[in-house]
A and B are shown apart, each in its own frame.
Chain A
Amino acid sequence: TKPCGRRSSSFPSLDPPAGFGQELPYVLIDCIGGRYGVYEDHAEFLKKYFHLIAMKEYLENKKFLSKKIRAIYMWFHKPVIKEELLQSLPNLKIVASSGVGIDHLDLNLLSRYGVKVSNTPFVVSTDTADLGMALMLASSRRLVEGYQIAVSPDTEYFPADWLGAEVSGATLGIVGMGTIGYKVAERAKAFEMKILYHNRNQRNKEEESAVGASYCKKIDDLLQQSDFVLLSVNLTPQTHKLIGKRELELMKPTATLINISRGLVVDQDALVEALQNKVIKAAALDVTYPEPLPRDHPLLKLKNVIITPHIGSATKKTRRLMMENMMESIQAGLRGLPIPNEVLL
């Protein structure tokens, strides 16, 4: 069975490689392997369909390769695309970007050069929702602190008065009820949580009642009632610093902020202050701005914060599905067919 989260593709996906004598399309990547490159096993797969050109190779042989390259496979924001690159790739048709976020791309610029863009919105959703739940549970039950006590050389006994707070039965406010937000709601419902949500648009009644979610037209209402506030919006000019000093003060002093969207959705300085002054109880962040934070950043020193290194989609299976989605989008884009997961302006 097809794993869910992967939209059933009606496009000719995973076509057999080009026949004898036909050249494979040239696709630019940053590099293969190492800590930041395209995974080696992914590259082996992609090479059946594309002639992969690493940035290093491209720069060494620009004259010949610049006209050949018709697509860019952008794996975790690399290679970085600036106007200079677009100018030197006259036959570039499509940029396939990994993950769902596209805030790192200049869509207007790409559009001016007639280059199409795709992302991988659906395959990341279950892993990201799972991580949102993991962060909420870990924070509420003080899991990381607890682990440190369990393994510390100084621990002689486990104290009886060391307590966390219950997730089951608490109120969760989801800010951004897209695919990921909705999957969080599905999971939270099983913990008998009361679910509030705020979204640009209200979902339909069936969707709401399936997860027992109540719409808060005003984000203030959600903030005031929630024990956990989870951010799963995309980053746009409208959501930039969506959560600032005012919003943090509207939250309960016993509340926890969870961010699985983008660092810039939160006013980080305001968050530091709120955590230091116990305006809110705690925060759990998979995303910050920048990533990683500077090593002397106050967020790294606070006891009531847990931070993970942007691992929302970091599982083997999901990364493989992302790669396959990107491959399909590039193939479709190069054949002039409708592009799966196209990002429109």
Chain B
Amino acid sequence: ISRQETFSNFLVASVMAEEELPGILILDIGGTHGVLENLVPLLKKHFRLITMKEFLENKKEMSKKIQSVFVFECRPTVDRELLESLPNLKVIGNSGVGVDHLDLKMISNFGVKVTNTPHAVADSTADIGMALMLASARRLVEGCQIAVSPDTKCFAVDWLGVEVTRATLGIVGMGSIGYKVAQRARAFDMRILYHNRNRRRKEEEEAVGAHYCEKMEDLLQQSDFVMLVVNLTPETHKLIGKKELGLMKPTATLINISRGAVIDQDALVEALQNKVIRAAALDVTYPEPLPRDHPLLKLNNIIITPHIGTATVQAIRMMAEEAIANMLAVLNGQPIPSEVFPK
């Protein structure tokens, strides 16, 4: 799917009275965790919007109307109790590609489908991966602090970062997002290694100049930058631990745009404190946010961003469109673009 083709192409403009529209459950509109207000008209075109508050106040009537749940930034929480109270629920449409917050097996047992939005997230998340790599390598955050600090009198000339151009980038997880990272990194003349469950086709590898590392150890030992772009599954939980960090170069940087739990955070703290690796740049941690006394917040060789991989006006909208298209496909009995199955 090209950038231009948003899922607005797939949206069927139903000509139905509002009461006849399928009910969709959301946590809330606006506020700290609710669906963004400017997405509401998009949802209302195809669904009858029911907030959690409305549902709880009038369970008897609302429960039968709800055919879909729109999960935005992991909310509302989909637990057994909720599933039991929604007899006509057909689909859970997740905004975003990660579904580690959903119990896929349990949901499947209720005969409910789960969909995600892999296409809408890819560009913005790949961009954040590149942004973190560049910011870390060139010490951008530190530099900003120096530039504005009241104590700064002169700019020191021996203040240096490390090169990104022509360095070696190891991508762990070469799905849609990982591949887009490779496309961008190639333009910086980077040497690209990747590790993935399955090897990509030769043409795909050649298009971005990526070399397959069947063993992740080989990737870790050769990379100047290691970027994690896997999804979180039992297999990738703590994928990067003490051993893996020890295999990395002492001059290397670890970048995480996947999920916090892919890294053994305690091992990471130790590795950064002891300069086993040079630095880390994390868009994701476990939990989010970290407790305010967490050692990761005190280290000066780390940058953390508040899970903003898809936090752009454009991506948020595209995610809603993709989720809506998926949910409508389920409700209309059409082929589902992005269904997620339990293992």
Contact = CB atoms under 8 A, between A and B. Distances in A.
Interface of A: 3-5, 34-37, 39, 75-76, 126-127, 129-131, 133-135, 137-138, 141-144, 146-147, 149-151, 153, 155-169, 186-192, 291-293, 295, 300, 306-311, 314-319
9 contacts: A133-B130, A143-B141, A162-B311, A163-B312, A190-B187, A308-B144, A309-B146, A309-B152, A309-B159
Nearest to B35: A160
B165 A309 contact: no
B163 A315 contact: yes
B226 interface: no
Contacts of A192: 3, 123
Contacts of B311: 141, 162-164
Interface residues of B, number: 68
Given A164-B311, A166-B314, A315 B144 contact: no
B144 A150 contact: no
B308 to A, nearest CB: 5
A268 to B, nearest CB: 14
B280 to A, nearest CB: 13
Contacts, number: 202
Contact of B304 (A150, A309, A319): A150
Given A134-B131, A159-B32, A316-B162, A151 B146 contact: no
A160 B96 CA distance: 13
Contact of A143 (B153, B185, B305): B305
Contacts of A308: 138, 140, 143-144, 147
Contacts of A137: 127, 130-131, 134-135
Interface string B206-247: 000000000000000000000000000000000000000000
A187 to B, nearest CB: 5
Nearest 4 interchain pairs by C-beta: A190-B187, A134-B134, A137-B131, A35-B156
B194 interface: no
B184 A190 contact: yes
Contacts of B161: 311, 314-315
Contacts of A5: 165
Contacts of A133: 130, 134, 188
B36 A161 contact: yes
Contacts of B130: 133, 137, 191
A160 B160 contact: no
Interface in B247-300: 288-290, 292, 297
Contact of A35 (B141, B144, B158, B183): B158
Given A156-B289, A309-B147, 11 more contacts: A76-B157, A130-B137, A143-B141, A155-B289, A158-B307, A168-B3, A169-B123, A190-B187, A308-B138, A309-B146, A311-B143
A128 to B, nearest CB: 10
B313 A166 contact: yes
Given A36-B154, A308-B140, A168 B126 contact: yes
B287 to A, nearest CB: 10
Contacts of A317: 163
B186 to A, nearest CB: 6
B306 interface: yes
Nearest to A162: B311
Contact of A157 (B32, B131, B135, B160): B32
A141 B127 contact: yes
Nearest to A152: B292
A161 B308 contact: no
B325 interface: no
Question: Which of B32, B123, B144 has the most C-beta atoms of chain A within 10 angstroms of its own C-beta?
Answer: B144
Contact of A167 (B127, B137, B292, B303): B127
A315 B160 contact: yes
A36 B156 contact: yes
A138 B306 contact: no
A143 B143 contact: no
A310 B162 contact: no
